[in-house]
Structure 1
Amino acid sequence: MTVTGTEQQVPWDLSFLRVGTAVTAGLTALAAPVAGLLAGWDAAVAVLLGAAVVTFFFALSGLVIAWAGRHGDAFTLPAALGSFFVKILVLAAVLQSLPADGWVHRRTLAWTVVAGALVWSVVQQRWVWTRRLYYVQPPAPPRPQPPTPPTTGGSPPPPGSAATRG
């Protein structure tokens, strides 16, 4: 998108991060104790860690895409795909580096990341569907007209008088 001197560049809105973080925090507050009671406290830690990883990854992607979008709309898709590829590599490396019987339950961590990514996707979709997003910048609203001063001749002639019959 080329911006001339008279156009204003629309800032990228990252308010979905606040909503996604709140939804993730609420679901994590419910899921971590349940996982701890059902599968052990290493599973509860995995739920907490998985929720933090997903939140961090989505926030990082949002910031990278917004940064790319400020430099040009054509950079947003490569930024999104590139950040996704890097995140998958980092997540795979982290999951492989964790010991099988360590302080965090790897399978619960992996499923938490999958569930968290689905939750964040739904949050983003709902956020987009309920927003007024424009393809082009809408025109500025019209300026209010100043009130016209009253005439000094007094009140207008009544209807049907000689002044109005012409």
Structure 2
Amino acid sequence: MTTSGKRPPRSDAPWDLSFLRIGIVATAATAAVAALVTGLLAGWGDAVGVLAGAAVVTAFFTVSGLVIAWAGRIDDTFTLPAALGMFFVKAVILFPLLNALPEDGWLDRRTFALTVVVGALLWSGVQLRWVWTRQLYYVPPPAPPASASSADPERPAPGG
């Protein structure tokens, strides 16, 4: 709200979710290399933990991005509650999931959990870089400049 009590005009700019593609590619490449190295050094059960952890992190960040963008399309003030709500939902899902895994099961819990932490840091880095390299406006962007012929109707157009 402004000091006059009116809401500023909403931007018609669409929510850009291109960071999802970048995050998915970065996670897939990192997980493939990490799973191969982990499989050779620690065993293939640990490698499956790496792949499962990367899949969970990718799903969580993708769903969060979509929900936050959906909330932002409705009203910008809904984005923070949507982000915090998704964080809570992810924690409520992840903690029981980790506890439900058997300690000596085919999927190594420690490797899975470590992969989730590393994956979250990777995705955070992708999002930070994406934001730092975009031209984002904190106010509605200015209108493009008018051409010389449309700026002054009494002035003849060049060459005419």
Structure 2-normalised TM-score? 0.86
Matched, 1:136 2:136: no
Q: For each residue in 1:47-74, what CA deviation from the matched residue of structure 2 results, as whole angstroms up to 9, or x when unmatched?
A: 0010010000000110111111111111
Q: CA deviation at 1:9?
A: 2.1
Q: CA deviation at 1:145?
A: 3.7
Of residues 95, 99, 104 in structure 2, which corresponds to 1:101?
A: 104
Residues in 2 aligned to 1:29 and 1:70: alpha-carbon distance in whole angstroms: 35
Kindly provide the amino acid, as one letter, of the partner of residue 101 in structure 2: L
1:86-165 aligned at under 5 Å gives the runs 86-146=89-149, 147-150=157-160
**2:34 aligned residue:** 31
Counterpart contact for 1:35–1:44, Cα < 8 Å: yes
Which one is further off, 9-18 or 137-146?
Answer: 137-146
- 5+ residue gaps in structure 1? 151-166
The CA RMSD measured in Å over matched residues stands at 1.6
Of residues 35, 41, 44 in structure 2, which corresponds to 1:41?
A: 44
**1:20 aligned residue:** 23
**2:153 aligned residue:** none
Larger Rg: 1
**1:60 aligned residue:** 63
Residues in 1 aligned to 2:61 and 2:11: alpha-carbon distance in whole angstroms: 27
**1:158 aligned residue:** none
Residues in 2 aligned to 1:48 and 1:59: alpha-carbon distance in whole angstroms: 16
Structure 1-normalised TM-score? 0.83
Q: CA deviation at 1:3?
A: 6.7
Aligned length: 148
